Amino acid sequence: MTLIKSISGIRGTIGGLQSENLTPIDAVKYAAAYGSWVKQQRDKDTYKVVVGRDARISGEMIQQLVMNTLVGMGITVIDLNLSTTPTVEVAVALEHADGGIILTASHNPKQWNALKLLNNKGEFLNAEAGQQILDIAENGTIEFAEVDHLGEIHKNDAYIDLHIDEILNLPLVKADAIKRCKFKVVVDAVNSTGGIAVPLLLEALGVEPVKLHCTPNGQFPHNPEPLKEHLGDLMESVVKNHADFGIVVDPDVDRLAFVDEKGEMFGEEYTLVAVADYVLQNTPGNTVSNMSSSRALRDVTEKHGGTYTASAVGEVNVVEKMKETNAVIGGEGNGGIIYPELHYGRDSLVGIALFLSFLAEEKIAVSELRKKYNAYFMSKKKIELTPQLDVDAILKAMEAKYATEQINTIDGVKIDFAENWVHLRKSNTESIIRIYTEAKSQEEADALADRIIGEIEGIAGL
């Protein structure tokens, strides 16, 4: 496998050859480059970095390597150990730290891990900062601390509770109304840290959690990407337990999807749509999602008198556009909720609390809530990359082929047709070209994706 270096962090598979995978040497190399970058941001006597991880099997090994590398640079580490990506982001701000590192490969299978890098606001690095760290790793001189000036590791296991406290204090989180509803909810946390955080949040809101795959041992019971084809256990469990709905999060708890009371998918694209509907009816304003997200968010935003804007794919790009447009909510169609009232990061926990508040206010079943929104259907397919594929040339050819349609090239190529759209882009996190389509029926979306894949294969001579 290839070691992938992007705005989404340093990501690779465990084992294998140095610089081709995420080996211990690579973990140390990029942790040291990050530590060096942190020191370049401000000249001060002491530095502090927050570090946490999801529950994947390699997490403890990678975390020890990363933390002790920072100690060797004279940096104090706040060790959250098992945590969530949004919890680490919140902790950076509350600690007034200089940055943060989350050891997680998000939705990737168990053989993957990654270093996700944060700035002193607890937000993902922009492309410029990310490039500076890559340059330091490859070409820079990294200076380590002398023996009397080594850093220290301070353990702090309180931050999931503190994160939940911050959520409960939000004006739009209606804890009392939620408690009165006596909800029962099934939680699938793919045996990662959502198994710790989500039940704690639900219990704090007076919701009865039914735990499914909530042991944080990193043994993922199914593919950890929260897609319908991976969630048969959750769908069955919701019906069997007569639950009000089901929740699934990815291993680091920044993607959120729901299953309704009938055991049917709410649709991960509609997580953000529903939460935005609730936020906008209470605090009207603008929204942002990435170019691969559903048109349904635009519809809801305009219904409430706001302006919808699309950004390039990648959380940092969504956040940048949200700040630029003063958006009150935003995120990504993969179930990522960004609620700036709490922090600028995808956060399943705040998404759950806002969704429950909406249900308590509307007093309707989850399946009925879903019917409120325009029905769009997406197809998410991919083509594996090989060294022979010239992605840029393929995208240029597709852009030329559809030059008479509405084209956006800020991130790959998005082609907007009257009734549907297709977005083609090289992934930041995997060696693939992503082909996302949306249409008024699943059959149309799948047919459009298959047609485009056929055209790409023709262009590439596959």
CB 116 within 8 A of CB 85: yes
Quote the Cα angle for 94-96-97, to 5°: 110
Phi then psi for 336, rounded to 5 degrees?
-95, 115
The CA distance from 222 to 390, in Å, is 33
Strands (DSSP E) found in 200-314: 208-212, 245-249, 256-259, 286-290, 308-311
Question: How many Cβ atoms from other residues are within 10 Å of residue 155's Cβ?
Answer: 10
Residue 126 CB-half CA count within 13 A:
7
Residues whose CB is less than 8 angstroms from the CB of residue 28 and which lie 6 or more positions away in sequence, other chains included: 65, 66, 69
Q: Partners of 246 in the beta sheet?
A: 186, 259
CB 272 within 8 A of CB 333: yes
State the residue for tokens 């639900």: 202
Helix axes 348-362, 268-282, angle to 10 degrees: 60
Helical (H) or strand (E) element with 353: helix 348-362
CB 256 within 8 A of CB 285: no
The CA distance from 50 to 328, in Å, is 27
Annotated catalytic residue within 8, 58, 83, 106: 106
User: What are the DSSP calls for 230-245, one per residue?
Assistant: G-HHHHHHHHHTT-SE
Q: Partners of 13 in the beta sheet?
A: 112
Catalytic residue check, 106: yes
The DSSP output letter for 163 is: H
Active site amino acids: 106
